[in-house]
Amino acid sequence: MRARTHKAKKGDLQHGKGIKQLQYQCAENKLSDHRPVSSIFLVDVEVIDHRKLQRALNFASAVVHPEIFLQDNGDLS
């Protein structure tokens, strides 16, 4: 007996405040019945500890763009 798996659909994660899906892609996989998907999101977050954020993003293989952390005066926060 196989465990039932969730099949990702476009729009699964775009609900909620401060999150917007910018791109969604799926690929055909001829070796499996699972379809690989990827998505890019724009997420509005409040950063309290930049070091913890960097560690979490490194763990998740994500990228930090420091220019988004500019304060109103142009300095990095």
Q: Residues 29-44: what's their mean pLDDT?
A: 79
Residues 6+ apart with CB under 8 A from 36: 26, 27, 29
- What does each C-alpha distance from 51 to 14, 48, 61, 77 come to in angstroms? 27, 9, 15, 12
Residue, of 23 and 31, whose pLDDT is higher: 23
Report angle CA 65, 68, 72 to the nearest 5 degrees.
Answer: 150
Q: Residues 37-51: what's their mean pLDDT?
A: 83
Q: What is the pTM of this model?
A: 0.40
- What does each C-alpha distance from 33 to 11, 29, 36, 38 come to in angstroms? 21, 7, 10, 16
